[in-house]
Chains A and B, each alone.
Chain A
């Protein structure tokens, strides 16, 4: 065993350069993109269908969503790095964070479904993104709020990226890794743009709103279960 360790010491690993980080993060992002797409699907698909028709508006939605998700990614990575928890994020901390994120996601989806209904009652023709807030000018695009919260979801690809980023030695390199990883995963979100072509009518909007409520209820349950898991699951 000692002999083996000695052998390993003599192995010369290739230097970690900007290019190698870029390639590795992009490959990881592209490979794990379907998992990201699947885990964000329950949030993106109904809320996107609840928006108005048209590629331009749907592109704006997706840009807001992905932009906010990117900010969420980086913020989470930075905070986790600061706490030294990027590699071994303990379950005792992970579950409450994930629980709160799910609770917030559930609340936002409920609010979203309600706002879409009100917006439609006022004017369905306005080609604007649905905003969440008291006044329209002070409101935040719902897509951005959802994107930011999904950026905080600790999904398996995120953990994989976190593990690799933690080995890079500096926070700048780790954030760079995360940024490129994010680009790789985002490619998989482009098919969602095609939902912009789906013709919106009362049926589509109602289905989207009802689906949002169902998903929100499930997220609220998941959030609560994560927060009081021991009592719910009994172990």
Chain B
């Protein structure tokens, strides 16, 4: 049965990776390894009827291999990880999805994009351009909502990996008000981007600049910016996830995550707590990496809107009370079907988006050994 259920994903993988087939041997090996890996993880999800553990392998691999492939490309094309001001002025800054919410108001009010990149496919590091990235984001977001942060974000894997290193959390008492952090960063960044006509988050607060593309520091300002990037990365992505076993950057800081929470309302998939089965032991609350479950929400049978659909609560629940759910249906009506439908959509997109990232990173490493 598990093999049958995996078959559509295997076909999709074949089609996707055949499309990205490379002429060199290292690239070919990387593509085959990635395809096998993605199919194997999906098969294990089907076989064990659990999600979180297998999804995490994929997610951490994507998080670790994204900087490898990206930094290699940047250095090959530009000679340095630092982006100089000339590249920004020329609109050749590579675009990631994180500034999308910051661009909407300035674009709506002034028809101007406050990001030094190219809307259409450009030259050099501009890559596919903002339109392609925004289009892909919109299509995927409509289906998975905030599931983006568990299956498609190429930044979250590093902290998820760090969160799973320690067996037990060393910092257990976390003020729940920190959960509002992403909304505050989103509000401040949207307002400042509109006022200053600048992508303020990218310039000042993105922790992942530390492992992708920092500012080419030619003055004190650049040094300060890079210092902030490194400090945020070290604390929110490395140290705090290790101490708390939570995805602290995602849960307490990421403005894109807050924005993405809104789209949990448009996605048909969510996670519910079956109140007839719940004891409540609150194991789900402890397991949730983004603190999206509270005593009140469990009592109401709901997760908070920040739920990333990672499956940690569903897998840890001893009474199968935390369940995958399709909106408009009964909570107890076939949660496995809901999981399957979500996973087909999410894993299909993960192969397309994350699979190419993993293959790219692997190919970069394999190039060192195989010519």
Contacts and interface: CB of A to CB of B under 8 A. Distances in A.
Interface of A: 34, 38-42, 45-46, 202-203, 206-211, 214-215, 218, 225, 231-235
10 contacts: A34-B109, A38-B194, A41-B194, A42-B195, A46-B188, A46-B191, A206-B184, A207-B184, A209-B184, A215-B192
Contacts of B218: 234
A207 B191 contact: no
B187 A45 contact: yes
B180 A232 contact: no
B219 A233 contact: yes
A206 B188 contact: no
A95 B194 CA distance: 21
A222 to B, nearest CB: 9
A161 B98 CA distance: 37
A38 B184 contact: no
Nearest to B219: A234
A173 to B, nearest CB: 31
Contacts of B187: 45-46, 207-208, 211
A41 B194 CA distance: 8
Contact of A214 (B177, B180, B185, B224): B185
A42 B109 CA distance: 16
B188 A234 contact: no
Interface string B209-224: 0000000001111001
B184 A41 contact: no
Nearest to B200: A218
B221 A225 contact: yes
Nearest to A210: B184
Interface in B104-155: 109-110
A219 to B, nearest CB: 9
A215 B109 contact: no
Contacts of B242: none
Interface string B156-197: 000000000000000000000100110111011001101100
Interface in B64-115: 109-110
B204 interface: yes
Q: Which of B110, B185, B188, B220 has most chain A Cβ within 10 Å?
A: B188
Nearest to B109: A34
Given A207-B187, A214-B188, 4 more contacts: A42-B191, A207-B180, A215-B192, A233-B220
Nearest to A49: B187
A210 B219 CA distance: 30
B180 A203 contact: yes
Contacts of B183: 203, 207
A37 to B, nearest CB: 9
Q: Which 3 A-B pairs have the closest CB atoms?
A: A210-B184, A234-B219, A214-B188
Interface residues of B, number: 21
B191 A215 contact: yes
B221 to A, nearest CB: 5
Contact of B184 (A40, A211, A231, A234): A211
A18 to B, nearest CB: 33
Contact of B221 (A41, A207, A233): A233
Contacts of A210: 180-181, 184-185, 188
Q: Which of A42, A218, A233 has most chain B Cβ within 10 Å?
A: A42
A54 to B, nearest CB: 21
A232 B221 contact: yes
B194 A211 contact: no
Nearest to A209: B184
A225 B219 CA distance: 12
Contacts of B192: 42, 215, 218
A215 B219 CA distance: 23
A218 B220 contact: no
Nearest to A42: B191
B363 to A, nearest CB: 39
B159 to A, nearest CB: 20
Contact of A39 (B177, B181, B188, B195): B195
Nearest to B220: A232
A161 B213 CA distance: 41
Nearest to B185: A214
A202 B219 CA distance: 41
A214 B184 contact: yes
Given A215-B188, A232-B220, A234-B219, A206 B194 contact: no
Contacts of A215: 188, 191-192
Q: Which of B195, B200, B219 has most chain A Cβ within 10 Å?
A: B195
B88 to A, nearest CB: 15
A106 to B, nearest CB: 12
B195 A38 contact: yes
Nearest to B187: A211
A42 B184 contact: no
A220 B50 CA distance: 49
Q: Which of B183, B184, B185, B221 has most chain A Cβ within 10 Å?
A: B184
A45 B192 CA distance: 11
B215 to A, nearest CB: 13
